[in-house]
Structure 1
Amino acid sequence: MRALRLHGDRDLRLDEVPEPPPPGPGEVQLRTLAVALNHIDVWGWRGMAFAQRKLPICTGAEAVCEVVSVGEGVSGWAPGDRVAPYGAQTCGHCRACREGRDNLCENVTGVMGFHLDGFARDRLNMAARLLVRVPEGVATDDAACASITFSTVEHMLFDNAKLEAGETILIQAAGSGIGTVAVKEAKALGCTVIATAGDDEKCDKARALGADHVINYSTQNFPTVARRLTGKRGVDVVFEHVGATTWAGSLLSLKMGGRLVTCGSTSGVSAETNLMMVFQRQLRIFGSFGASMRNVADGLAKMAGGMTPVLDTVVPLERFAEGLDRLESRRVFGKIVVTL
């Protein structure tokens, strides 16, 4: 079968590899239908990793799959069922896992596609407990964006920032995969959305997506504009995932007691922070990594209700590297999906 594997820094190859054995007890065998690209794929492509990994490694951290067969003791799943697999290999028995806080698993062995073989292959075996059912009516390409993209936004906005109707939120890089979902989620809740983007074309698209105000952060001072739009009060919440280049401005954009939630650092991992401003203005900063399986299910439920992801490009597996290059160069508005 085919497997897209990383052999070294930026060395992606479409390899022929053996098919997996029949699924073992508690496992299902999956056929990958589509993979959605994320910055974690770009990091892996560049040779970055948070822990040791063995190369070659199969890429793809977010996917939608179809059940092919089930192993002994598996109930509730049948061949043909579509699933959004949870990409972190959690233990399932620590306190965090038992309480449904999967992304805080104390014994996690890694993230698929980054530390462990991922989904960009024709078939794989996986623990049945790590699958979330895709509702009827949800398009396959859309469902590919559930297990990281939609779930990350769900976890950021509602588990961490506790976003409420009527609040004002500043969404950084609104043209990204999670940025576009955040705009839709916040507007659906009844919030005032101030979005930022790096060029006029993306600003126009963010406005068409429903943002109330859009700031081109390449040509405008976004914290100044954000404070002017809020009568110098500042925003209730900042949705941050850009990192060093926007960090200080994001904090300046907050009102007294405002909340900043961050899940990324694509422009750099280190940034200076004015600690006096943090404690004097009583700002709250939430780090948010990954999501729970509940977040994945909630995102899929919203897709079933009509809130679909913005798809920038859909390409076949053979053009996976083109998708990564487009994502890395920031030419993308929304998600890039790779079909198998």
Structure 2
Amino acid sequence: MRALRLHGDRDLRLETLPDPEMPGPGEVRIRVRAVALNFLDVWGFRGMAFAKRKLPQVAGVECSGEIEAIGAGVEGFAIGDVVVPYGAETCGECRACREGRDNLCENVAGILGFHVDGFARELIVRPARLVVKAPASVSFEDAACAAIGFGTVQHMLFDNAKLEPGESILVHAGGSGIGTAAIKMAKAIGCTVYTTVGDDEKGEKARALGADHVINYRTERFEGEVRRLTKRKGVDVVFEHVGADTWNGSLLCLKRGGRLVTCGSTSGVSTTMNLMQLFQQQYRIFGSFGCSMANIRQSLEKMAGGMSPVIDSVFPMERFAEGLERLEGRRVFGKVVVTL
């Protein structure tokens, strides 16, 4: 099989590897059809792993594929089913796993494509318990965005921030993969959406998705604009994933008792904050990482219902690095997908 393996900082090679063995009991073999790119891929490409990893390593943290073979004892799958594998090596036995809080596994062995071999290969064997079947109407390209692009947003907005119909929300980086998904999910339940973008072209595209108010953060202070537009009341929820550059401005955008949910720190991992502001305004801050298996199922159901992910561009496997560079340069609106 062909596989994309990272050998070092920005050293990504398309290689031929032995096919995996046939699946054992409780396993399925998946033919990977599409890989969606994320900033985890960019950080891995740059050599920025949070833990030591063994190189070379197969890239790719999010994918879709179809069932090619089924091991003994596996039920609920058929040859040819479109599926989405979960992106972490969870134990399946700890309390968090048993309760369906997969992204809080106490014994997680790593994230595929970041700590251990990932999905950018033609064939992979996975435990059936970590594979979600997609509705037949969902394409490989869309399904490839379910585990992170949609699942992360589903977990942030509804499990953590508890976003309710009719509330107001500020979505940072509305042109990103998760930003576009957040706009769609919030508008689907009747929320008023404020979003930040880096240029006017992205702003027009964000409006076309349903954003009510678009702020170009390069020409305007987003916190000032949100305060002005909300008549100094602020928003109910801030969807934060930029990091240090926007953190304190995001807090200023919240109304009293507002909720901030964050899953990223692309502009920096450290900041300072006003603790008096935090407790006097009674803010609630939620850290959010990844998603659960249930969130992937919910995301696929939304896709089947017509809420498609925004796909910026599609590249063949041979141009994986080009897709990463496009994402790293922030020249995207939505997701970048690589097809195999």
State the TM bucket, normalised to the shorter chain: over 0.9
**2:34 corresponds to 1:42:** no
Helix, strand or coil for the counterpart of 1:245?
coil
**AA in 1 matched with 2:34:** A
**AA in 2 matched with 1:274:** N
Provide the rounded CA distance (Å) in 2 between the counterparts of 1:205 and 1:81.
33
Query: What per-residue deviation string (whole Å, max 9, x for no partner) do you get for residues 203-243 of structure 1?
Result: 11111110000000111011111011111101100000001
**2:313 corresponds to 1:316:** no
Shift of 1:52: 1.3
**AA in 2 matched with 1:323:** G
Alignment of 1:175-324 (within 5 A): 175-324=175-324
Provide the rounded CA distance (Å) in 2 between the counterparts of 1:238 and 1:163.
10
Aligned residues: 340
The residue number in structure 2 matching 1:22 is 22
**2:198 corresponds to 1:170:** no
Provide the rounded CA distance (Å) in 1 between the counterparts of 2:268 and 2:286.
18
The residue number in structure 2 matching 1:146 is 146
**AA in 1 matched with 2:250:** S
Provide the rounded CA distance (Å) in 2 between the counterparts of 1:77 and 1:52.
35
Provide the rounded CA distance (Å) in 2 between the counterparts of 1:265 and 1:202.
21
Shift of 1:122: 0.6
Provide the rounded CA distance (Å) in 1 between the counterparts of 2:202 and 2:243.
19
Alignment of 1:48-197 (within 5 A): 48-197=48-197
| TM-score in terms of structure 2 length | 0.99
Helix, strand or coil for the counterpart of 2:245?
helix
Shift of 1:56: 0.3
Tell me how large the CA RMSD over aligned residues is. 0.6
**More displaced, 70-79 or 254-263?**
70-79
**AA in 1 matched with 2:97:** C
Query: What per-residue deviation string (whole Å, max 9, x for no partner) do you get for residues 143-186 of structure 1?
Result: 11001111000000000000011111000000000000000000
| TM-score in terms of structure 1 length | 0.99
Shift of 1:200: 0.9
Q: Percent identity?
A: 69
Shift of 1:201: 0.9
Helix, strand or coil for the counterpart of 1:237?
strand
Query: What per-residue deviation string (whole Å, max 9, x for no partner) do you get for residues 231-273 of structure 1?
Result: 1101100000001111111011001111000000111111121
Provide the rounded CA distance (Å) in 2 between the counterparts of 1:142 and 1:78.
20
**AA in 2 matched with 1:196:** T
Unaligned runs of 5+ in 1: none
Provide the rounded CA distance (Å) in 2 between the counterparts of 1:140 and 1:53.
29
Provide the rounded CA distance (Å) in 2 between the counterparts of 1:165 and 1:229.
20
**AA in 2 matched with 1:99:** E
Query: What per-residue deviation string (whole Å, max 9, x for no partner) do you get for residues 47-88 of structure 1?
Result: 011211100000001000111101121122121111010011
Q: Which runs of 4+ in 1 moved over 4 A?
A: none
Provide the rounded CA distance (Å) in 2 between the counterparts of 1:289 and 1:14.
30
**More displaced, 133-142 or 185-194?**
133-142
